[in-house]
């Protein structure tokens, strides 16, 4: 922490929990996760460029249990950051700041991202779609 | 006498103390808007390639439009990531040398990773 005598914001512990806090914190957390994930995307591209062996190593890692968990986590982080990001872009136009709609759109971003993740992974895991 | 302590030229330019005005804010939004489309296209492309073999995956990425969109995605993604991580670091890292080191480090990593991604797509597209 900063070596200052003055009080520092935010004092998270003095607030009653609200969904808007979760949606805000999650946006940052998922942003950090996706930044790390972008390095994995580059790994995939570099492996595809490097040749069949390198790409086989990459796909084997991706298909492993740990790789699958990482990709499911990435999908959830991606859809949440996408939904809440669109919500923020709408709010940048000055809309949606009434408390009621602010809370509703927070929940929507969370719920829609979970639904989209479930839909995508239901498609992937049930898939013998060649 | 004016209440504003800035001189009139500084006020007209509107660049503030960081000398970039709303540049950071605006770039974050424009890259966000681009990424809405680029990332959705990327996810759909990956899903269609899920069970493809190596040659098919490579041939798909090598198509001009796919290669162009992928390069656009890689550059936009890392630009957006650096702008976002910068704000997080500025907000939460309160030790000055650690803050500066982190800010420089994420830029170095992002530039190298973006270049690596672009080179990979070019190698695939140009077939070498």
pLDDT tens-digit map of B24-82: 999 999 999 999 999 999 999 999 998 899 999 999 999 999 999 999 999 999 999 99
Query: SS3 breakdown of chain A: % helix, strand, coil, rounded to 5?
Result: 80, 0, 20
pLDDT band at B14 (very low <50, low <70, confident <90, very high): confident
Q: What is the pLDDT of residue B7?
A: 82
Residues of A in contact with B74 (CB under 8 A): 41-42, 45
Q: What is the pLDDT of residue A130?
A: 47
ipTM over 0.85: yes
Q: What is the pLDDT of residue A79?
A: 98
- Rounded to whole angstroms, the Cα distance separating B30 from B33 reads 5
Q: Could you tell me the two tokens for B2?
A: 């004016």
Cβ contact B88–A31 (<8 Å): yes
Assign B4 to helix, strand or coil. coil
pTM: 0.89
Q: Could you tell me the two tokens for B24?
A: 């950071």
For the segment A11-69, what is each residue's pLDDT rounded down to a tens digit? Answer: 777 778 889 889 999 999 999 999 999 999 999 999 999 999 999 999 999 999 999 99
Phi, psi of B21 (to 5 degrees): 55, -130
Chain A nearest CA to B14, separation (Å) = 20
Q: What is the pLDDT of residue B15?
A: 85
Q: Average pLDDT for residues B73-92, to the nearest whole number?
A: 97
- Rounded to whole angstroms, the Cα distance separating B117 from B7 reads 45
Q: What is the pLDDT of residue A129?
A: 53
The alpha carbons of chain A give a radius of gyration, in whole angstroms, of 19
- Rounded to whole angstroms, the Cα distance separating A1 from A109 reads 32
Residues of A in contact with B117 (CB under 8 A): 41-42, 45-46
DSSP for B77-108 reads HHHHHHHHHHHHHHHH--SHHHHHHHHHHHHH
For the segment A71-113, what is each residue's pLDDT rounded down to a tens digit? Answer: 999 999 999 999 999 999 999 999 999 999 999 999 999 999 9
Phi, psi of B6 (to 5 degrees): -75, 150
């Amino acid at each position: 922490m900063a070596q200052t005598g003055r009080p520092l914001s935010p004092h998270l512990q003095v607030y009653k929990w609200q969904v808007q806090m979760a949606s805000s914190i999650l946006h940052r957390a998922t942003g950090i996760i996706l930044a790390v994930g972008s390095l994995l995307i580059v790994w995939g591209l570099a492996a595809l460029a490097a040749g069949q062996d390198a790409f086989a190593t990459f796909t084997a890692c991706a298909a492993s249990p740990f790789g699958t968990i990482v990709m499911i986590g990435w999908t959830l982080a991606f859809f949440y950051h996408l939904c809440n990001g669109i919500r923020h872009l709408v709010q940048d136009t000055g809309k949606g700041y009434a408390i009621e709609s602010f809370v509703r759109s927070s929940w929507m971003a969370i719920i829609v991202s979970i639904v989209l993740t479930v839909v995508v992974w239901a498609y992937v895991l049930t898939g013998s779609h060649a | 006498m004016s209440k504003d302590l800035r001189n009139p030229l500084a006020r007209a330019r509107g660049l503030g103390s960081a000398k970039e005005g709303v540049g950071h804010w605006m770039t974050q939004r424009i890259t966000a808007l681009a990424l809405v489309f680029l990332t959705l296209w990327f996810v759909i492309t990956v899903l269609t390639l899920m069970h493809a073999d190596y040659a098919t995956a490579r041939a798909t990425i090598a198509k001009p439009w796919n290669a162009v969109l992928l390069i656009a995605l890689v550059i936009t993604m890392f630009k957006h990531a650096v702008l976002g991580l910068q704000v997080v670091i500025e907000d939460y890292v309160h030790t000055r040398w650690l803050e500066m080191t982190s800010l420089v480090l994420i830029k170095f990593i992002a530039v190298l990773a973006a270049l690596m991604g672009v080179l990979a797509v070019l190698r695939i597209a140009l077939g070498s």
